[in-house]
Structure 1
Amino acid sequence: MIEGAPYILVVDDEANMLIAYKTFLKPDYNPILCSNGTEALQKLTEYSFSAAILDLKMPDMDGLELLEKIKEHDSDLGVIMSTATNDVKYAVQAIKKGAFEYVTKPFQYEEILGLVAKIVERRELRKENFYLKSALKEQQSFSDLIGQTSVMRNVFMIIENMNSVGSTVLITGESGTGKELVAHAIHQRSDRKNKPFVVVNCAAIPENLFESELFGHERGSFTGAFERKIGKFELADTGTIFLDEIGCLPQSMQAKLLRILQDNHIERVGGKGPIKISVRIVAATNTDLEQALKNKSFREDLFYRLNVIPIKLPPLRERRADLPLLIEYFLKKFNEELKKQIAGIDRQVMNELLEYDWPGNIRELKNVIERAVVLTKNGMITDISLRGKAVNGMPETLTSLKEASAEFEKEYIKKALAKTGGNQSETSRLLGIHRTTLISKMNLLGLK
């Protein structure tokens, strides 16, 4: 058996046909050979098949009856019917009963291999779609947090384990990795979920307004303070405050935040005394706080107070396995929001999305998919812009259609050769052309 290769069920009462099937299927598949329907039904309980090939005329159970029983067992399994009888009525019956294709003996082995490849590919795509839908459903409890890689599963586990504790959390990661989503998920899974969740962007507050914004002020406490203002910490009382870009907090405010963590009290600017609060603090940064500790721009005692539960979010380029899931999620999201019916993304465009480094991380991916959905009228997304670069769109300098077609064909064959490790037989099978045709095209296009 070839490890990892798809299993193909082959049923024929002629021994020489079974040998032939085994010979031409063996390089790419694991053929399981049966001489009758009863044996085949037993094998269905022992293996997970990707495709089946059935002879029509067999002694104890004919191919049509076996086809029905196979469909009862696995309605999604693609079945090829083969027979020496060139009768249209049998072909019609087979197709009506759910056969993928009907072929007449004698046939070309390439024909069977092409049909098997199509069935296997279709089955794999359906598996992937089922997996994506299941994964999306599983992640709904984490708001917009999506991921199946081990590092993201670890993040989900930490969030789950924090639902009954109020420890301070420090989330680190590049811009756009989803730090606010993680903070919100922590809040939603905690005992404070029905209480306020207040977001503070420390990078967006002028230094002279920090204290007023965070702790509030009394009327007349400074020029322009015409009325009392409740600060962010007081608004978040009994809930969670999310301090985004905590690395931008001025030294003077770092000392005040440390005091809040120690005493659970705040004091408004111009206030007459401390106000007791109960706030869960979740902080985040895209800067290297440990380096900030070394150059004394961030207090060491505050860092250790914040870093009780550390969560590090990886950049998107380090969790590429999550990209199909994220793309599917955002496509569905914007289809619903924009009332569109975009069916999917062109395969070549999808390959570009999977290979792109995503310097803006999930935020950039979200914006790219939203823009593509907006600009696509219907059907498939065939053009996407990545940082000003058009993917699968028209090139800036137009060549003749013949030259453009030749260039596309050359690149496509190069990718197919790379995928098969340069094996010409496998490449021709993958491309659905004869090996001699492939060699001719390679010579014509300058591919050695």
Structure 2
Amino acid sequence: MRLASAAEWLGGVQTAARPPGISSKGGRGVRAGAAAFFVSWATIDWPKPRPPRMMARDTPLTAPPMPINKTSNKSGPVLPAIAPVEALLGAAQPPVYAIDPSGVIVYANAALCDWLVAPLDQVVGSRVEYHSEAPPGAGAVSADLCPPPQALAGQPLVAALAITLHDGKLRQREFRFCPLPAKPHDGQSATAAVLAIGDTKDLPPDSAEADAADNPLHLAIRRFRAEQAAGHAIDPLLGVSAATSRARRQATAAIRSQANCLITGPGGAGQTRVARAIHYAVSDAAAGLWQFSCRGMRAQELERLVSKSEPSATLLAVRLDELSPEAQHALVRLLGAQREQPRLLATIEAPDDGPTTELDPNLAAMFGIEVQLPQLADRLADLPWLAQLFIEQCNAGATHQVGSIEPAALDQLALYAWPRNVDQLAGVIAEAHANAKQPEIRVTDLPPLIRHAAVAAATIGDKGEPLDLAALTARVEREVIERAILRAGGNRSKAARLVGMTRPKFYRRLKELGIDPPTGGTAP
């Protein structure tokens, strides 16, 4: 049962619903803390330099005195009468809402619904998630109202929230988040609920105060996605590097001109996602996107596909470089024979060690614009942006919310070569997100591959000592063997199987590396 009003949440009735996992005794403490919070709002020690305020900057906080409920004979704290509290919240000018321990919005006042331009039933019951994936509308409430994950973890803070309007524009407003601690259980602290109270006025566009109050990368991604087609933003082209800016200009030209477009780049650079974003960015793209793989496609199959497509449709040829010369010639002939040609988008994967496969000259001449996607290693300035983007994508639908990645972890990401480019970075961040136990990804959350690359880079980069490949290999091998022994519970036979060695070879390497593991489980 979800809480539908402030009266229930603050404990106005004996049978009021409670956040999951909170006992009735703990619930009284939470409700008492909530009541005290609203009475003594101005005494909360908010992060400096922003002074605490509930109303507009020039309006002092005033609240009517709350009569004490003297009729209560229950043990525990004596609560103020609920009616004035409910009236205060319901008629309050600032937007107010509350989040339970599972991340679900359990209360929202009228001012919040007015700010969101959304009815109450689309707000209460929504689960907040720290990302920018949802398009404008009712589905965006979960992302619009999510505080930084540090607040969900129990840290009071001030942050700017941005909501996406139906016209794609952002409105920003500063909120104060007050986590209410639950009664400790088994010595472990927990958060019973998070109260959020906003200012009465929006922040100016591109406000420096908003950037300082929240994660600036999170807000920058919100702005970037708001400027793109809803749900089809050109995510691989997020960033500030010169190579990315050039590719973004090329993609923008393809969108505006609606010309045939060729998207090239190394493997894993996101060519197909960019092509789809170019198609869906056009307002009349509802005619349909016909996407097909060129690998192994014969001329007869291609002819059937083209004959079925509407003139207003878009053909997306994935890996056009894998289309046989006969099929390339057939594609030119088929498109040239039509009075109204469908738009043609195509992707090509450029090999790392050689030139791109040459296309039929007549086919290459059909493309008016080429979008060249860079390697991730050539756009390391974009790493913080892309890492934040993939963190927020992982937050969508996840129970654990992560807000950012620590600088030391970003440094290790920058030392890796990224042979599979942006797609590989997305996989690494997904694994680190799953490993993270805090609201921030740390070095220890990164996959072993990234940490080993950092060790190798540090060894190679040390010009004061000669390069010792054997020592580096032994160092990496030692860590792998020690991890296998730990996973096997000290059982050396099982550890040998985990690393793919025979037992004699495994025992020999233990001796050579000076590893003396504890025995456990079945004797070796």
Give the TM-score normalised by the residue count of structure 2: 0.42
Structure in which a larger fraction of residues adopt helix:
1
Higher CA-based Rg: 1
Give the TM-score normalised by the residue count of structure 1: 0.48
